[in-house]
Amino acid sequence: MINTGDKLKCIQGNDVYLEGEIYTVGRIVNNKYFQILTSSNDDHWYATLDNEGIYVSFDSNTAQDNKARFDKLA
């Protein structure tokens, strides 16, 4: 279960989210989608919570996996 204000650690980074950094959950859309803030202001991307875990998927024209992945901190 994810709640607004939860802290997430980035375990696989990309150009937006840096591996090892801690990010905050923003507004909850539903039990599968929610915002992950990118900084101290209101910038965010929408994350998915499913059987793959927590991730933000970015469109990419390359074969490389361009998802940022996160673990929830206890």
- Report the candidate in 70, 65, 66, 63 with the shortest Cα–Cα distance to residue 48: 70
The string of pLDDT tens digits covering residues 42-72 is: 789 999 999 989 999 887 665 566 899 999 9
Mean pLDDT, the chain, integer: 89
pLDDT band at 26 (very low <50, low <70, confident <90, very high): very high
**pTM of the full predicted structure?**
0.86
**Whether the predicted pLDDT of 74 surpasses 90:** no
C-alpha–C-alpha distance, residues 41 and 61, integer Å: 29
Residue-range domain boundaries for the chain: 7-72
pLDDT of residue 73: 95
